[in-house]
Structure 1
Amino acid sequence: MSQLAPETSLGMRILLQGEQSIYNRILADIATGKLVSGDRLVTTHLASCYQTSINPVREALKQLEGEGFVTFQKNSGARVASFEYATMREVFEILQLLEPYFLSWYAGHCTPESLVCLADIQEQLRALDIRDSAGLRDLDTAFHWEMYRHHYNASALRLWKNKKLILQALHGDLPVCEKRFKATLDEHDHILYLLNAGDDESAVRALTKHVVSGGDYWSSVITDQLRALSA
């Protein structure tokens, strides 16, 4: 098993804020590569790492098994599962419903201070090395969260954070190509421009296109990887 360590990245702190369940902590360790496919998940060791009792660990592993992140094998116990394409597709479908819902509210309530914060995050993204895929994912999470965190529906926000965390676990270690890196910047710029212009409907349409484009990109990446493995 890979060494477990405290998570410090901005995006992961956002996704785990107020959500320090054992389920989320194990999923975060999968998302950040501290636990990788094939690693054994020994309940007593995990309970010691997370400073909890065995029962919450067992419950979390059962939940993660139901979502395809953990497998239970006879005589070897629980292990981190390999990637499931269907899980990623379902997550993107949920995000394509949630994110326009959040932005449609934000567009009518955003403050000048929040728009400045978005612009600051965008400048940090623009300053990244084009090869810094982890940094891109991290700041992209921060950019979206700044738009969504003001929403009144706390249950929907928790669902969004959970699905983003699942995406990190599914492809957190995959590189982002230069074309997609630049497209993300351009799409963020367009959304920010429309928000500043007060064109709420166009901003929601631009965000929807942004989320769909991200889903299409990762679907093609994973499809190519699966095709290569089966060749």
Structure 2
Amino acid sequence: MTKIEPLGAVRERVLAALRQEIIAGRLHPGDRLVERELAERFGVSRAPAREAIRALVGEGFVHFETPRRTVVRRLTPTDVTELFELREALEVYAAGLAASRATPQALAELAELLDQAATATHAADAEAITDINTRFHDRILAMAANSLLISVMEPVGGRLRWLTRQNEEWPQRLREHRKLYEAIASGDPDRARAHALSHVQANHRSTVRHLFGAAGNEGEL
């Protein structure tokens, strides 16, 4: 007897696949998401495809150009600035908590992620770099041991991965992550916060430069 997949599980499967395609750059800004085509591609009914699209709108990945046309969003400098302002507020705080609460095991796991990031950076493996860097920051959040902070970051986590995936200055990011690791491992919250702030601000500048040019003129990707 064939097991019927619950509608909610189907919707989550389609949503996760589409979200990853956007983050990885396989779906580009301006690409259209058509409910009927998605249903056919994933072998599902139109209802979970429709719900997945609506969820992506809520997460900020896509938007309705018209009531009948849904496309992947084109990021503006304002979008980028707002996301980095949030990172600056929350990730800097998390780094300070992580420095004061880190265990030897957690630090070892963070160091292992840096080794993996170095290998992926050497191979210029964009998807692996994005995944590892996401896990690096998730590990710092876990080390902060503040469940409310984690819940606040969760809704924008996907958009942050999407944003940083489009910044391909990977060796710079690896160097910054190593400095951040050393600061957290020192057990000094002030040092950790300072390095986290420097990292977020540097990543903001390089992302704007990569997406919009040196001047960061008001425009769209």
TM-score over 0.5 (shorter chain): yes
Q: What is the Cα deviation at residue 191 of structure 1?
A: 2.1
Structure 2 vs 1, CA of residues 61 and 46 (structure 1 numbering), >3 Å: closer, same or farther?
same
The answer (yes or no) to whether the contact 2:63–2:73 under 8 Å persists in 1 is yes
1:210 aligns with 2:199: yes
**Aligned match of 1:191:** 180
| Structure with the higher helix share, 1 or 2 | 2
Q: CA RMSD in A?
A: 3.2
1:134 aligns with 2:130: no
Q: Which residue of 133, 145, 155 corresponds with 2:138?
A: 145
**Aligned match of 2:80:** 88
Tell me the distance in 1 between the aligned counterparts of 2:84 and 2:167.
18
**% identity of equivalent residues:** 23
Tell me the distance in 2 between the aligned counterparts of 1:210 and 1:107.
16
The answer (yes or no) to whether the contact 1:125–1:185 under 8 Å persists in 2 is yes
Structure 2 vs 1, CA of residues 206 and 52 (structure 1 numbering), >3 Å: closer, same or farther?
farther
TM-score (norm 1): 0.71
What secondary structure, in the 3-state scheme, does the structure 1 residue paired with 2:101 have? Answer: coil
The answer (yes or no) to whether the contact 2:95–2:193 under 8 Å persists in 1 is yes
1:37 aligns with 2:29: yes
The runs of at least 4 consecutive aligned structure 1 residues that moved more than 6 Å come to none
Aligned pairs for 1:73-84 (under 5 A) are: 73=66, 77-84=69-76
Amino acid at match of 1:117: E
1:99 aligns with 2:91: yes
- Structure 2 unaligned blocks of 5 or more: 1-11
1:113 aligns with 2:113: no
What secondary structure, in the 3-state scheme, does the structure 2 residue paired with 1:41 have? Answer: coil
Amino acid at match of 2:197: T
The answer (yes or no) to whether the contact 2:27–2:72 under 8 Å persists in 1 is yes
Structure 2 vs 1, CA of residues 186 and 153 (structure 1 numbering), >3 Å: closer, same or farther?
same
The answer (yes or no) to whether the contact 2:184–2:192 under 8 Å persists in 1 is yes
User: For structure 1, which segment, 122-131 or 43-52, has the greater mean C-alpha deviation from structure 2 after superposition?
Assistant: 43-52
The answer (yes or no) to whether the contact 1:118–1:143 under 8 Å persists in 2 is yes
Amino acid at match of 2:93: Y
**Aligned match of 1:169:** 162
What secondary structure, in the 3-state scheme, does the structure 2 residue paired with 1:149 have? Answer: helix
TM-score (norm 2): 0.74
Q: What is the Cα deviation at residue 141 of structure 1?
A: 1.4
User: For structure 1, which segment, 30-39 or 204-213, has the greater mean C-alpha deviation from structure 2 after superposition?
Assistant: 30-39
